[in-house]
Amino acid sequence: MCGIAGLLITDPDQRPQLGALLAPIFEAMTPRGPDSAGLALYGDGVEVHKQVGPATKLTADMALADRGGTCGIAHTRMATESAVTTEGCHPFMAGDDVGLVHNGSFSNYATVRRDLAATGVSFDSDNDSEVCCRLLAEQLAAGAGLAEALGSVPDRMDGFYTLLVATPSEMAILRDPAGCKPAVVAEGSGWVAVASEYHALSELPGIDEAHVFEPAPLEVHTWRA
Amino acid sequence: MPRTPRPSATFPAAVIEQIHELSDVGHYEIRGWGAKRAVPSFDDLTFLTSSLTRYPLEGYREAIDTTTVLGAGRAERPLVLDVPITIAGMSFGSLSAAAKEALGRAASAVGTSTTTGDGGMTPEERQASAKLVYQCLPSRYGFTPADLRVADAVEVVVGQGAKPGGGGMLLGQKVGERVAAMRTLPEGVDQRSASRHPDWTGPDDLRIKIDELREATDGQVPIFVKMGATRVPYDVKLAVAAGADVVVVDGMQGGTGATQDVFIEHTGIPTLPAVRQAAEALRDLDVHHDVQLIVSGGIRSGADVAKALALGADAVSIGVAALVALGCNRSTTTGDDRSPPEDVTDDYLALGATPGTCHHCHTGRCPVGITTQDPELEARLDVERASRRVENYLRSLTMELTTLARACGKSDVHNLEPEDLVALTVEAAAMAGVPLAGTSWVPGAGAGLP
pLDDT at A71 over 60: yes
What separation in angstroms does the CA of B160 have from each of B51, B72, B138? 40, 24, 12
% of chain B residues with pLDDT over 70: 99
**What pLDDT sits at residue A17?**
97
CA distance B366 to B356: 13
Please check whether residue A207 touches B, CB under 8 A. Answer: no
Considering the entire predicted model, what is its pTM?
0.94
**What pLDDT sits at residue B26?**
97
CB-closest option in B54, B411, B418 to A177: B411
| Contact between residue B271 and residue B251 where contact means Cβ atoms under 8 Å apart | yes
CA distance A27 to B48: 34
Please check whether residue B49 touches A, CB under 8 A. Answer: no
Mean predicted confidence (pLDDT) in A194-201: 97
**What pLDDT sits at residue A88?**
87
CA distance A120 to A118: 5
Please check whether residue A82 touches B, CB under 8 A. Answer: no
Please state whether beta strands B315-318 and A159-166 pair in parallel, antiparallel, or not at all (unpaired).
unpaired
CB-closest option in B55, B283, B412 to A180: B55
pLDDT digits (tens, 9 = 90+) for B276-293: 999 999 999 999 999 999
Please state whether beta strands A71-77 and A36-43 pair in parallel, antiparallel, or not at all (unpaired).
antiparallel
% of chain A residues with pLDDT over 90: 91
| Contact between residue B322 and residue B87 where contact means Cβ atoms under 8 Å apart | yes
% of chain B residues with pLDDT over 90: 94
3-class DSSP state for residue B85?
Answer: strand
Please check whether residue A86 touches B, CB under 8 A. Answer: no
- What is the band of B448 on the pLDDT scale with cuts at 50, 70, 90? low
Start-end of H helices in B116-171: 123-128, 145-149
Please check whether residue B410 touches A, CB under 8 A. Answer: yes
**What pLDDT sits at residue B379?**
97
Q: What are phi and psi of A23, to 5 degrees?
A: -55, -45
- What is the band of A51 on the pLDDT scale with cuts at 50, 70, 90? very high
pLDDT digits (tens, 9 = 90+) for B6-65: 999 999 999 999 999 999 999 999 999 999 999 999 999 999 999 998 999 998 888 899
Mean predicted confidence (pLDDT) in A55-59: 96
pLDDT digits (tens, 9 = 90+) for B61-80: 888 999 999 999 789 999 99
Please check whether residue B409 touches A, CB under 8 A. Answer: yes
- A-B CB pairs within 8 A amount to 43
Report the range of poorest mean pLDDT among B200-204, B215-219, B244-248, B277-281. Answer: B200-204
3-class DSSP state for residue B156?
Answer: strand
**Longest CA–CA separation in chain A, Å:** 50
Q: Please judge whether A158 and B411 are an interchain contact, meaning their C-beta atoms are less than 8 angstroms apart.
A: yes
What is the 8-class DSSP label of residue B2? P
- What is the band of B447 on the pLDDT scale with cuts at 50, 70, 90? low
| Contact between residue B114 and residue B103 where contact means Cβ atoms under 8 Å apart | yes
CA distance B292 to B288: 7
Please check whether residue A126 touches B, CB under 8 A. Answer: no
Q: ∠ CA B62-B65-B71 to the nearest 5 degrees? A: 170
Q: Please judge whether A110 and B54 are an interchain contact, meaning their C-beta atoms are less than 8 angstroms apart.
A: no
Instruction: List the 8-67 stretch of A: residues with Cβ below 8 A of B.
Output: none
Mean predicted confidence (pLDDT) in B406-435: 97
3-class DSSP state for residue B128?
Answer: helix
B266 by Cβ neighbours in 10 Å (0-12 / 13-18 / 19+) ranks as exposed
Instruction: List the 95-114 stretch of A: residues with Cβ below 8 A of B.
Output: 105, 107-108, 110-111, 114
Q: Please judge whether B415 and A158 are an interchain contact, meaning their C-beta atoms are less than 8 angstroms apart.
A: yes
Please state whether beta strands B315-318 and B292-296 pair in parallel, antiparallel, or not at all (unpaired).
parallel
Q: Please judge whether B55 and A118 are an interchain contact, meaning their C-beta atoms are less than 8 angstroms apart.
A: no
- Quick one: which H or E segment has residue A72? strand A71-77
Find which of A78, A111, A176 to mutate to test the B interface (most B CBs within 10 Å of its CB): A111
Mean pLDDT of chain A: 95
> Any catalytic annotation for residue A180?
no
Amino acid at B428: A
ipTM of the complex: 0.88
Please check whether residue A218 touches B, CB under 8 A. Answer: no
pLDDT digits (tens, 9 = 90+) for B111-130: 999 999 999 999 999 999 99
- What is the band of B2 on the pLDDT scale with cuts at 50, 70, 90? confident
Residue in B352, B358, B353 with CA at minimum distance from that of residue B323: B358
3-class DSSP state for residue B409?
Answer: coil
Please check whether residue B211 touches A, CB under 8 A. Answer: no
**A177 neighbourhood in chain B, CB within 8 Å:** 62, 411
CB-closest option in B52, B53, B417 to A108: B417
- Indicate the angle between helix axes B232-241 and B271-284, nearest 10 degrees: 40
Q: In order of start, what are the domains of chain B with their CATH numbers? A: 42-324+392-432 (3.20.20.70)
Mean predicted confidence (pLDDT) in A122-138: 93
Please check whether residue A155 touches B, CB under 8 A. Answer: no
Exposure string (b/e) for B48-65, b if CB count within 10 Å is 16 or more?
Answer: bebeeebbbbeeeeeebe
Q: In order of start, what are the domains of chain A with their CATH numbers? A: 3-224 (3.60.20.10)
Mean predicted confidence (pLDDT) in A9-21: 97
Mean predicted confidence (pLDDT) in B207-226: 97
- Closest CA in chain B for residue A119: B286
Strand order in A45-52's β-sheet?
A45-52, A36-43, A71-77, A2-9, A191-195, A184-187, A211-213
**What pLDDT sits at residue B74?**
87
CB-closest option in B55, B410, B419 to A110: B419
**A110 neighbourhood in chain B, CB within 8 Å:** 417-419
| Contact between residue A105 and residue A78 where contact means Cβ atoms under 8 Å apart | no
Find which of B417, B421, B422, B442 to mutate to test the A interface (most A CBs within 10 Å of its CB): B417
- Closest CA in chain A for residue B58: A178
**What pLDDT sits at residue B449?**
52
- What is the band of A187 on the pLDDT scale with cuts at 50, 70, 90? very high
- Closest CA in chain B for residue A120: B286
